[in-house]
């Protein structure tokens, strides 16, 4: 099976389970920065943990504080393995860039429309060019 190629925004390698969100998410108020758990009570994936997952976001709900939440997740070592965004979110990418400047391992970021996200395997490996292969 062929999987869609991702558009690298902040290149890097990632592997892990793929967590596909069915609704937009705000990191500020929607994700617990101490645990990486989705706490937005009306979100369909409320209670799921994003740490270590290839996180597929159809869209985000903006807040300039989202980068701070992501930065805290990175600092604690409980950030997503990668961000796959339907629409690139500069605020989230700022969190990744700041982490890299501080010498912390931060998740790569990729763009892929929600229809393409739905075609990703349940667990995947992504190379820096955005090529996807299933984890077996």
Residues annotated as catalytic (active site), given as ranges: 63
Quote the domain boundaries for residue 88: 7-134
The pLDDT tens digits of the residues spanning 28-70 come to: 999 999 999 999 999 999 999 999 999 999 999 877 889 999 9
Which contacts qualify for 125-129: CB closer than 8 Å, 24 or more apart?
Answer: 125/13, 125/14, 125/15, 126/6, 126/13, 126/14, 126/15, 126/54, 126/82, 127/13, 128/8, 128/11, 128/12, 128/13, 129/5, 129/8, 129/11
User: For residue 103, what pLDDT is reported?
Assistant: 95
pTM for the model? 0.95
**2 in a domain, yes or no?**
no
Total domains in the fold of the chain? 1
Q: Report the CATH number that the domain containing residue 43 is assigned in CATH.
A: 3.50.30.10
| Segment among 3-7, 12-16, 45-49 with least mean pLDDT | 3-7
**64 in a domain, yes or no?**
yes
The pLDDT tens digits of the residues spanning 88-97 come to: 999 999 999 9
> Does the structure show a pLDDT above 80 at 1?
no
CA distance 10 to 45: 25
**1 in a domain, yes or no?**
no
């Amino acid at each position: 099976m062929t999987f869609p190629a991702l558009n690298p925004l902040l290149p890097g390698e990632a592997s892990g389970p793929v967590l596909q969100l069915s609704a937009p998410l705000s990191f500020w108020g929607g994700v617990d920065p101490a645990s990486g758990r989705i706490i937005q009570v009306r979100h369909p994936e409320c209670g799921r943990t994003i740490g270590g997952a290839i996180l597929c976001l159809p869209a985000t709900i903006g807040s300039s504080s989202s980068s701070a939440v992501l930065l805290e997740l990175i600092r604690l070592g409980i950030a997503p393995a990668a961000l796959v965004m339907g629409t690139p979110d500069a605020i989230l990418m700022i969190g990744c860039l700041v982490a890299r400047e501080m010498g912390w391992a931060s998740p790569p970021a990729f763009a892929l429309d929600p229809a393409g996200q739905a075609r990703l395997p349940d667990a995947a490996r992504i190379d820096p060019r955005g090529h996807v292969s299933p984890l077996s």
